[in-house]
Amino acid sequence: AMAALPLVLWALTAASVLAEPAVYLREQFEDGDAWTRRWVESKHKSDYGKFVLTAGKFYGDVEKDKGLQTSQDARFYAVSSRFDDFSNKGRALVVQFTVKHEQEIDCGGGYVKLFPSDLNQEDMHGDSTYNIMFGPDICGPGTKKVHVIFNYKGKNHLINKDIRCKDDEFSHLYTLIVNPDNSYEVKIDNKKVESGSLEDDWDFLPPRRIKDPEAKKPEDWDDREKVPDPEDKKPEDWDKPEVIPDPDAKKPEDWDEEMDGEWEAPMVTNPDYKGEWKPREMDNPAYKGKWVHPEIDNPEYTPDAQIYKYDSIGVIGLDLWQVKSGTIFDNFLITDDPKLAEEVGNETWGKTKLLTRALRCPQDAEKKMK
C-alpha cells in the first residue's frame, strides 16, 4: 500500500496535467508598446493602414479596453502575430476576440485569419493561404455577416448558413469552436448563434447520395393527376361570337349612304359569349403518381472524419479593407477549451461592456451641451 500511494498520486497529477487547457495565444494589449514586437506589419504593399493602440472614444476601462485600432480611412490593413505552432488534431479549437466598430462602420472587415506557421508574415496579403477566416464583415446595409471560412484540401469554403453580425458601436465578443467530432459552434457575446456539423454546413465533400444517372422515367409513365373527361362534349349551342353589332343602335336620321357609305351598327360585347370550351377534368385512371428519380450512393463521396483538422496553426492575422476606420480589436484568445474561453470572455468583454454603455451616455450628453 505504501508503494502504491505515490503511484496513485502520480496518476492523479498526470490526469490533471492532461486536463489542463492549452492556451496557444492570449493577447490583451495590456503592456504598452510591447505589442509592436509581437505583431508584424506586412510589407507586401507600401501603403497599408496603421494600427494604433487605444481604448477609443469611449470605454469601460481605459487600460483593459485598449486594443488595436484601424486609424486611416480607405486602407488595407495587414498585421499578424506568431505563436507556438500546434495542430488541433483530436482536440477542440477555440478562436475568440472582440471587435468594436466605434466609428459606426459603413464598410469594412472585422475578421481574423489563422495561418499555418510557414506564413511569411512580412509578406502576408489577401491571397496568403490561411486555415480559417472568422469574424464579422460589414458593407452597406446588404452585408452584415459573420464569415466562417475553412481551407479544406487547398480550397476555401464558405459556410452555407447566414450568420448576422453586430453592427452597433459597442464591443462584441466573437467565438468560433471547432470540435474533433466535426461539429462547430459560433457564439456572439457568449451566446450561441449557430452550430451544426462541418459536413452539413459547408460543401467540403460531394453529396453522399446522387440521382441515379442510369435511371430514367419510363416513356409510358403517366404522371398526369387529372385528365380531360372524354365523356364531356361541347354543347351544340356553345359557340357564339365574342362581339356583335349593337342591337340597340340605330342609323342616324341624317345618314347619307352615298356620302357616308353603308351604315353599320357599332360592335358590342356579346352577352351570350361563353369563351373557349374546355372539357371538365377527371381523375386520371392511368395515373401512376409522381415519378421519383431513384438515388444511389455517390461514388465520388468519401467520408472524412478529420475535416476539422489542421496540421499547423501558428499565426493569427488581421488582413482587412476598411472604408471608415476606427475598429478596435482586442482580447484575442486561441485555446482548446471552450469553457476557459467563455470564462475569459466574461472576465474581459463581459466585465467592461456594461460600464462602457453606462459611460457612453454621459459623454453623449456632454457633447450635446457643447
Nearest distance from residue 337's CB to ligand NAG, in Å? 10
Can you tell me the distance from the alpha carbon of 255 to that of 196, in angstroms, rounded to the nearest whole number? Answer: 86
The binding site for an alpha-D-glucoside consists of: 111, 113, 130, 137, 319
Contact window for ligand NAG (CB under 6 A) among 55-63, 110-118, 196-204, 338-346: 338-346
Nearer to ligand NAG, 175 or 182 (CB): 175
Nearer to ligand NAG, 60 or 317 (CB): 60
Please check whether residue 332 is in contact with residue 96, taking contact to mean a CB–CB distance below 8 angstroms: yes
Q: In which element (H, E) is residue 152 found?
A: strand 143-152
Given the DSSP bridges, would you call strands 281-283 and 191-197 parallel, antiparallel or unpaired? unpaired
In the block, cell 500546434 appears at 86
| Residue nearest ligand NAG (C-beta atom) | 346
Query: Which of 146, 147, 140 minimizes the C-alpha distance to 104?
Result: 140
In the block, cell 340605330 appears at 250
Nearer to ligand NAG, 79 or 344 (CB): 344
> Which of 108, 342, 348, 352 contacts ligand NAG by CB under 6 A?
342
Please check whether residue 323 is in contact with residue 108, taking contact to mean a CB–CB distance below 8 angstroms: yes
Task: Considering only residues 181 through 240, tell me which ones interact with ligand NAG, judged by CB under 6 A.
Answer: 190
Q: What angle do CA 152, 157, 162 make, to 5 degrees?
A: 140
Nearest distance from residue 345's CB to ligand NAG, in Å? 7
# residues near ligand NAG by CB under 6 A:
6
> Which of 106, 227, 343, 359 contacts ligand NAG by CB under 6 A?
343
- For the chain, the maximum distance between any two Cα atoms, rounded to a whole number of angstroms, is 139
Residues in the chain: 370
Nearer to ligand NAG, 153 or 191 (CB): 191
CA-based R_g, the chain, Å: 35
**Side chain identity at 97, as an amino acid letter?**
F
Nearest distance from residue 198's CB to ligand NAG, in Å? 25
Can you tell me the distance from the alpha carbon of 44 to that of 121, in angstroms, rounded to the nearest whole number? Answer: 9
Contact window for ligand NAG (CB under 6 A) among 115-123, 205-213, 262-270, 342-350: 342-350
> Which of 36, 129, 143, 346 contacts ligand NAG by CB under 6 A?
346
> Which of 84, 339, 358, 361 contacts ligand NAG by CB under 6 A?
339
The footprint of ligand NAG (CB under 6 A) covers 190, 339, 342-343, 346, 350
